[in-house]
Amino acid sequence: MTDPYARLAAAAADWDELHPRLDSGALDRLALLLTALRTETGADAGRAALLAARLLEERLPDRFPGEGRLTAAPGAPAAPDTPAPDDPATDAPAADHLGFTADDLAVLVLDGHRMVGPVLGEVRDRLLAAPALGDAEVLEAGSDPYAPYLIRLPARGGLIRLPAFQFTAGGRVRPAVREVNLLLGAAEDPWGAADWWLSPNAWLAGCAAPVALLGSPDEQRLAGTAAFLAEGGQ
């Protein structure tokens, strides 16, 4: 029998192929169910996962054939024609598919970016865990949150977060950040730019993350290091 969370994870892994095959109505319905999956807990979240998985079965029968009957998700009440799960006390779904999870499908459908899967999903979570500001906070400090030289990361539900290291304590954009982000193409690849700033860099002293050099005497090295990368260096 099929775990609905595993089915959603499988859809995330093959989303490039499956997305064009779903009409707008199906995508809207899937978005509503994935929102419920994120915001609800226990039985309600489990039922949202079950309904989302059944929607995929109905719309993509060749990819998700009905003979592998879906079981109710952990914590969800079983539908009349659905056998109960073996362990209804289980709370946290762990089912994945090739390292993809149901949450990755929510990221693809609701958040509108592709930082998913066993590698990029971990990068996404790490970058979003860094201190960040919202558009309103940046505006209140007198800066333009929509400037092309700022990194803007879409978090859950498409909520935009701007990594806080880009700003001084007074809320102004750091000149070094402005210069480097333009070199890195932050407007086109905000995730790549954020990862550059927040990951250890072999070209910097002690393999420090570039963000550690902001406000230090070595800050002037950042633009040259970023330019080297932009020109094709490693």
Q: What is the pLDDT of residues 27-55, one digit of tens each?
A: 999 999 999 999 999 999 999 999 999 99
CB 5 within 8 A of CB 102: yes
Mean pLDDT of the chain: 88
Specify the pLDDT at position 89: 35
Question: Cα separation of 84 and 198, whole Å?
Answer: 45
Specify the pLDDT at position 207: 74
Specify the pLDDT at position 202: 85
Question: Cα separation of 136 and 167, whole Å?
Answer: 14
Write the DSSP assignment of 183-201 as a string of letters.
HHTTTT-HHHHHHHHHS--
Specify the pLDDT at position 91: 47
Asked if residue 119 is part of any domain, the answer here is no
Asked if residue 120 is part of any domain, the answer here is no
Tokens at 219, concatenated = 């800050």
The answer for residues whose C-beta is within 8 angstroms of residue 198's C-beta and 6 or more apart is 126, 127, 130, 163, 165, 209, 210, 211
Residues of the chain with pLDDT under 70: 1, 67-94, 205, 232-234
Check whether residue 139 and residue 40 sit in a common domain: no
pTM: 0.82
Asked if residue 150 is part of any domain, the answer here is yes
Residue ranges making up the domain that contains 24: 4-111
Asked if residue 22 is part of any domain, the answer here is yes
